[in-house]
Amino acid sequence: MSFINLALSLALLGVAVAIAPILDTVDRKLRARLHSRIGPPTILQTWYDIAKLLRKEIVVSEGGAAVIVPLSMTAASALLALSSLPPGMPSPFAPLDLLYLIMFSAAAHASFILIAVSSGNVYAVIGGFREFVLVSVNEVAYVLGLTAVALSTGVLSFSGAAYYGDFRPIPYIVSFALLSLCLYVSSARIPFDLGEAEPELASGVLIELSGPLLAFGIISVLLKRFLAAAVTATAIALPIMRYSGVYGLPGFGLLLGLTIAVWVIHALIAASLGRSRVGVAVKTLISLYIPLTLLAYTLLLFGV
């Protein structure tokens, strides 16, 4: 691993922490435009909200102390998963970057569920179980989608695929469709924000958090959301990097630009839908995942 690899990976993490709240404001602003209202007054509004929460006193509810560890684990896992992506250069985890990505993504989701269970609040527990059901279905499809994307490049590593992947367009597109759907679900936006479903669960998983703890909770959620957008962006960027030779800083810029674009698309989709129910969401996802997975692997198997 060279210094530049590490520097770009660290830069991606820094950028993720810095711009995820800004992207959240963009998200809010976009929604406001679609709703015919003004929205946040400044692009830094989510940052201001977080800063305000950070300045408040720490109030830990009974059993609330237990949430601190999973809260930290969620943010850390999301950041580690991000560092598995190639930011214009191979990831520090290459060639096992995909394995690490799967592992750390799963850890981020699992620790998010742990926040709910640890808090002991009935709304949080219900939210946690909803997350668990959704993640159980989604993670399987995510692993299959990620693997199918990698297989259709001929290299079981995103970092490797960016340099010497042999892309098979049709399986790649189908695998990408499966993967991007999984990633949208994992971004916990409407209609899949079931763990936090505000009107029913009053913030669900995060309900026991306030002040600085809530600030970290919000950052964790935003980082998970950034991760979902960045992985989708990476899957779009790989063939561009491979065939246009966009590496280094331009590659980093490409990944970042695509991440922002994906985030905006996610925001627009969320603004045009309503919230699902856990039973309906799972059934809908299974009915989409099974045919997409079968199609992707059939295409791969038959060498299309």
Partner 1 sequence: MNQHKDPLPERLRPIESLIREWLWIDRGRTIMLDVKRENLVEVARGLYKEIGAFFKTCAGVDERPLWGGYAVHHIFGIDEEGLDVVVYVRIPEKDYPWVPSIVREVPAADWCELEFRDLLGIDPRGRLTQRLVLPDDWPEEVKPLRKDVPYGYRPPRAEETKPAEVGMYPSGVPVGPYHPALHEPEYFELYVEGEEVVDVRYRGFHVHRGIEKLAESPRFDYNKVTFLAERICGICGFVHSCAYVMAVERAGKVEVPERAEYIRALLLEVERLHSHLLWLGVAAHLLGYDAGFMHAWRVREKTMILAEYLTGSRKTYGMNLVGGVRKDITPEKVPKILKVLEEVAKGTKKVADMIVSVPQVRKRLEGTGVLRKSDAAALSVVGPVARASGLNRDVRKDYPYLAYKDVSFKVPVYSEGDNLSRTLVRVEEIFESIEIIKQLLDRMPPGEVLNEEWDIEPGRYAVTSVEAPRGEDTHLLITGVGRPYRWRVRAPTYANIPALRPMLRGQELADAPITIASIDPCFSCTDRMLVIDVRTGKRSVLVTRPQVKVVSLG
Q: Which residues bind partner 1 (CB under 8 A)?
A: 31, 34-37, 120, 122-123, 126, 190-191, 193-194, 197-200, 202, 271-280
Q: Tokens standing for 101? A: 């990505």
What is the smallest separation between the CB atom of 232 and partner 1, expressed in angstroms?
A: 22
What is the smallest separation between the CB atom of 274 and partner 1, expressed in angstroms?
A: 4
What is the smallest separation between the CB atom of 296 and partner 1, expressed in angstroms?
A: 25
Closer Cβ to partner 1, 16 or 201, answer by number: 201
Contact 149, 229 (CB under 8 A): no
Instruction: Name, in order, each residue with C-beta under 8 angstroms of 302's C-beta and a sequence gap of 6 or more.
Output: none
What is the smallest separation between the CB atom of 229 and partner 1, expressed in angstroms?
A: 20
Looking at residue 28, the DSSP 8-state letter turns out to be H
What is the smallest separation between the CB atom of 162 and partner 1, expressed in angstroms?
A: 37
Measure the CA–CA gap between 302 and 304, rounded to whole angstroms: 6
Closer Cβ to partner 1, 76 or 190, answer by number: 190
Looking at residue 289, the DSSP 8-state letter turns out to be H
String of DSSP letters for 284-297: HHHHHHHHHHHHHH
Measure the CA–CA gap between 241 and 282, rounded to whole angstroms: 35
Closer Cβ to partner 1, 79 or 267, answer by number: 267
Closer Cβ to partner 1, 168 or 275, answer by number: 275
Q: Tokens standing for 149? A: 């994307």
Measure the CA–CA gap between 116 and 30, rounded to whole angstroms: 30
Closer Cβ to partner 1, 132 or 247, answer by number: 132
